[in-house]
Every structure is written in C-alpha cells, then in structure tokens.
C-alpha cells in the first residue's frame, strides 16, 4: 500500500513512547527518534501520523519536513542522523588523539559519556529499524521503508565502529598512563642504582675501625666526596650510553 498525501502539517509538541509503528482503522502512526549534538546530546521523539487524507508530523524541535509519503518523510528525516554520526566520528577521533598525549579523569569521563551516548543511539536505531520493519511487513510504503531500514543498518554499523573507537581511546589512555608510570619507575630505579655505591662508600667510611688510613688523612673527606662523585658520573655516562637517560 502506497500511503500518499500532498498535505503535510507540522505541529510542535513532544510525543510520548518509544519508536514504533501502528495502523488501526486506516490511521497510521510511526514514531521515530532524532538526535542533536549541540551543547549536549539530546533525543527528540518525532511522530508521523496519516489518515489517508493528510499527514501530520509532531516534534519538539523545528524540522524541515519533505516527502509525499510517510516512508519518504521518515527517510528524509533520518538523513540528519548521518550528519550526527559524521560529527561524532570527528569527536571520537579527537578523543583518541588526546588519549595518546595525556591521561586525566576529565578525559575518562568524556570518553565514558560518548560511550553512553553511542549506546543510546544504538538502542534507538534498533527500535526504529523494528518499527520500519513492521511498517514494511504491513505493506505500507514498502519502497521507502526498505530504504530507511537499509540506512538504519548502516547507521548501526557506524555506531559499532565509533564504540570501538571509544574503546581504543580507553586503551590508549591506559597505555599512556602505563608509559608515564614506566618513566617514573625508570627514574626512581636510576636514582636508587646511583645511591647504592654511594651508600656503600659511606658505609665503609662510617665503620669506626681504629686503623683506617683515610680517617686521619688531611684530604680524606675531600677524597671520599670526589670518589662518590666520580662513581656517580661514571654510572650516569654508562646509563646514557645504554639509552636509559
């Protein structure tokens, strides 16, 4: 059945419920969910109603309604989701680049927020696909319903790809944190290694044996300091040659 109408009316309002399709007594109802990503992520219910003579689109935000059939209107409305996914792809790519350079609690919270956003998108797309499959099975505007289902499948694949991108960002942050911890541990290990021979020298000359020539030597103190400095310099040169510094 090809549901055609030349009279489409837009009404501002907020329909209730999840995406669905219903047809009763010649009246059709298709509820979709569109999304915006301006200052924050928002989900907007959009209801398309048709009674055989005129169509009515009810939504809480202004929409450019184009099409002569419910399926065509739905398909045109869903194209805005492609722009949303492109914008999300840019943002997720930015998260990955930032994750390579730094690790912070704010960045972790941002990545988790995007993961939750993508999960919501996947749920809404799946529900809309089920609604349009019901519309297709009912024989209502099958051509455009098929187009909508095809696009929603592509959108769900894009969402899955973006979720993998956020998982990659989390992994990159963990790698960045591990690399920073390794750098800290390397510095601490070098410091501890430098201190070991110095501590040994100090311990030797700290033993109060009676016969230790350097203790009564006029330059014994300067000699011990010079010895420790020489050992430290030799070890630093060795570490640098080995690429540890």
| pLDDT at residue 20 in the model | 94
Could you tell me if 203 and 224 are in contact, meaning their C-beta atoms sit under 8 angstroms apart? no
Per-residue pLDDT tens digits for 131-162: 999 999 988 889 999 999 999 999 999 999 99
Rounded to an integer, what distance in angstroms lies between the CA atom of residue 14 and that of residue 133? 24
* Residue 11: band (very low, low, confident or very high) from pLDDT cuts 50, 70, 90: confident
Residue 234: C-alpha distances to residues 94, 102, 205, 229 (Å): 45, 34, 21, 9
More confident residue, 2 or 196: 196
CATH topology of domain 8-180: Methane Monooxygenase Hydroxylase; Chain G, domain 1 (1.20.58)
Domain 181-241 is classified in which CATH homologous superfamily?
Magnesium transport protein CorA, transmembrane region (1.20.58.340)
For the entire predicted model, the pTM comes to 0.73
Whether 148 and 74 have beta carbons less than 8 Å apart is answered as: yes
Contact status, residue 46 vs residue 59, Cβ threshold 8 Å: yes
List CB contacts of 61: < 8 A, sequence separation 6 or more: 34, 36, 44
Gap between the terminal Cα atoms of the chain: 75
Sequence spans of domains, the chain: 8-180, 181-241
pLDDT for 13-72, tens place per residue?
Answer: 999 989 999 988 778 899 999 999 888 899 999 999 988 778 899 999 888 888 888 899
Domains 8-180 and 181-241 share a fold: yes
């Amino acid at each position: 059945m090809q549901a055609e109408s030349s009279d489409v009316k837009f009404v501002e309002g907020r329909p209730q419920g999840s995406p669905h399709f219903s047809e009763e007594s010649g009246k059709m109802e298709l509820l979709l969910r569109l999304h915006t990503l301006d200052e924050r992520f928002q989900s907007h219910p959009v209801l398309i109603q048709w009674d055989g003579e005129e169509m009515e689109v009810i939504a809480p935000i202004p929409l450019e309604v184009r099409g002569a059939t419910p399926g065509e209107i739905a398909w045109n409305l869903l194209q805005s989701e492609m722009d949303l996914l492109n914008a999300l792809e840019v943002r997720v790519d930015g998260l990955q680049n930032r994750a390579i350079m730094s690790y912070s609690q704010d960045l972790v919270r941002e990545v988790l927020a995007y993961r939750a956003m993508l999960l919501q998108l996947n749920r809404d797309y799946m529900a809309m696909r089920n609604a349009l499959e019901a519309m297709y099975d009912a024989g209502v505007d099958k051509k455009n319903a098929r187009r909508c289902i095809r696009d929603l499948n592509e959108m769900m694949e894009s969402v899955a790809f973006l979720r993998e991108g956020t998982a990659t960002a989390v992994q990159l942050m963990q790698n960045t944190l591990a690399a920073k911890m390794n750098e800290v541990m390397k510095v601490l290990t070098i410091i501890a290694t430098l201190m070991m021979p110095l501590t040994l020298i100090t311990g030797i000359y700290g033993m109060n044996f009676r016969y230790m020539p350097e203790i009564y030597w006029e330059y014994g103190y300067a000699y011990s300091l010079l010895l420790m400095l020489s050992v430290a310099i030799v070890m630093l040169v060795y570490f640098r040659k080995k690429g540890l510094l």
